[in-house]
């Protein structure tokens, strides 16, 4: 894979003799049918420098397939400058450390004040023709690492990696009380709470949800547990609901029974994300520094355990 201006070149290297172009794009690169349709409609595919529109030619070893992935795109997100904490960035993706108290994205047209607005401004100022494409989200009062794709192919590949549990997200929470086991898995399904517009709850009719946890430290005098958590699924409020369901709500999480006097908001931080780079295959193990308010708890933990 090689970047050539606004195009990305993929040399054809097959174990067999040849593949039709569509099959090559899907099997060898990981593109979706929607990607291919969009590229064809916008004359964004070349084979050996020749633009391909309706044809589906055979490609073979030694051929070159080029995709116009860095095209200028319109975005409905309003750019709004604010300083970003960038943990990783290249031409294909960006990972940010989201501050607490900021929504990930707007919920209505022309809304500002979100991380997406700040990222749109970053793209604009740095001359990048990218839409804001979030791969997952964090609650407004959860801080930490969050991944965005910079073009449609990267989004397709990262979405599939997330779906296949190949993007590993590690969280740290300060939970009230002492968990019954030092290490375990919570597998309770999560659904809406019909008595509350925002809150979720454990429900037999809910969506499957799996949270793995490990207690890093129990603070006996404060009756608090510092817990490392990893998600197999990404349900709304999943960690918050699961910890509350076992009697250990997150400190500061009033919605699920947490004490606001311990922490000014829910004490939950997305501390690390592991990604296999969608284009280069490089293993990226990205850490997000903890906010200041976490420091009084993190001094009890060896961060290498996270």
| Residues 145, 89 contacting (CB under 8 angstroms) | no
Backbone angles phi, psi at 149, to 5 degrees: -90, 150
Positions in the chain short of pLDDT 50:
none
- Is 5 strand, coil or helix? coil
Task: Give residue 139's pLDDT.
Answer: 92
- Is 155 strand, coil or helix? helix
Active site residue 139: yes
| Residues 104, 114 contacting (CB under 8 angstroms) | yes
- Is 85 strand, coil or helix? coil
Domains of the chain by start residue, with CATH:
2-67 (3.10.290.10), 169-269 (3.30.2350.10)
Task: Give residue 54's pLDDT.
Answer: 85
CA neighbours closer than 13 Å in the CB half-sphere of residue 244: 22
55-113 per-position pLDDT tens digit: 899 999 999 999 999 988 888 999 999 999 999 999 999 999 999 999 999 988 889 99
Candidates 139, 159, 193, 253; catalytic one: 139
Task: Give residue 129's pLDDT.
Answer: 86
Q: Which pair of tokens denotes residue 288?
A: 């997000």
Task: Give residue 219's pLDDT.
Answer: 96
Task: Give residue 151's pLDDT.
Answer: 96
The DSSP secondary structure of 169-188, one letter per residue, reads EEEEEEEES--SSSEEEE--
CA–CA–CA angle 270, 275, 280 (5° rounding): 150
- Is 41 strand, coil or helix? helix
């Amino acid at each position: 894979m090689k970047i050539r201006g606004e195009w990305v070149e993929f040399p054809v290297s097959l174990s067999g003799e040849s593949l039709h172009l569509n099959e090559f794009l899907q099997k060898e690169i990981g593109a979706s049918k929607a990607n291919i349709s969009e590229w064809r409609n916008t004359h964004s595919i070349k084979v050996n420098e020749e633009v391909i529109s309706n044809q589906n030619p055979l490609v073979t070893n030694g051929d070159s397939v080029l995709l116009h992935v860095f095209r200028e795109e319109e975005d409905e997100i309003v750019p709004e400058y604010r300083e970003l904490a960038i943990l990783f960035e290249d031409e294909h993706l960006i990972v940010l450390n989201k501050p607490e108290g900021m929504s990930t994205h707007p919920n209505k047209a022309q809304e500002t004040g979100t991380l997406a607005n700040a990222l749109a401004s970053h793209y604009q100022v740095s001359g990048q023709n990218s839409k804001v494409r979030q791969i997952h989200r964090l609650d407004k009062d959860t801080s930490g690492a969050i991944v965005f794709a910079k073009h449609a192919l990267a989004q397709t590949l990262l979405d599939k990696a997330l779906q296949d549990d190949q993007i590993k997200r590690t969280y740290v929470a300060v939970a009230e009380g002492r968990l019954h086991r030092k290490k375990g898995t919570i597998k309770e399904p999560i659904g809406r709470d019909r008595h509350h517009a925002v809150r979720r709850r454990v429900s037999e009719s809910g969506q499957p949800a799996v949270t793995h946890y490990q207690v890093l430290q129990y603070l006996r005098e404060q009756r608090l547990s510092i817990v490392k958590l990893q998600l197999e699924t990404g349900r709304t409020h999943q960690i918050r609901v699961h910890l509350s369901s076992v009697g250990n709500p997150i400190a500061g999480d009033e919605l699920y029974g947490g004490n606001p006097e311990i922490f000014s908001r829910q004490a939950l931080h997305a501390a690390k994300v592991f990604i296999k780079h969608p284009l280069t295959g490089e293993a990226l193990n990205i850490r997000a520094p903890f906010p200041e308010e976490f420091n009084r708890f993190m001094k009890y933990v060896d961060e290498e355990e996270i």
